[in-house]
Amino acid sequence: MALLRILGIDPGYAIVGYGVLDYLANRFEVVGFGAITTGADMTFTKRLEVIYNDMCQILDLYKPDEMGIEKLFFNTNQKTGIDVAQARGVTLLPAIQRGIPIYEYTPLQVKSSIVGYGRAEKKQVQEMTKSILRLKEVPKPDDTADAVAIAITHGYSITTRKLTENLGDRI
């Protein structure tokens, strides 16, 4: 298996967390992480433009091989959900334009992957993320920590996906 550069994304419109990890032989190296932020004083369309432009810069800087992103689910506030979905679209578009494969993960999948328990608390996921990557501190803000956890989840899923693909060849 060759070195794989993974971009993890926690979508939003006020904050888009991102984490970039190199993955090889079940080990991770942190390449970078951070957040795209937009101000509440911006029009929504301006926020979308900032997210799109910043995502283009992140993709061009880090040149990821694959992207993992949190799958949305709508809870109670449909207006917020629709806005997040629009922001998620402009987050994905630059990766689509560059031909980067995109994989989605539910919060349950991320928690199960990182902690081994799908109902784990956010703090548990953050502490395990810190431990897995041998970091001194949990990445901030929380959206960035979530994005890094998504990148780890994607890395762990690669082995399973490769095994499944190989088994499919034999059936």
Q: How far is CA 156 from CA 50, 88, 111, 148, 152, in A?
A: 31, 23, 12, 13, 6
Residue 8 structure tokens: 């993890």
Q: Which of 22, 54, 66, 143 is catalytic?
A: 143
From the candidates 22, 54, 70, 146, give the one annotated as an active-site residue. Answer: 70
CA dist 86 and 29 (Å) reads 31
In the set 10, 22, 54, 66, the catalytic residue is 10
Give bridge partners of residue 69 from the DSSP assignment.
9, 104
Q: Does residue 10 carry a catalytic annotation?
A: yes
Nearest to 10 by CA among 39, 51, 62: 51
Just list the catalytic residues: 10, 70, 143
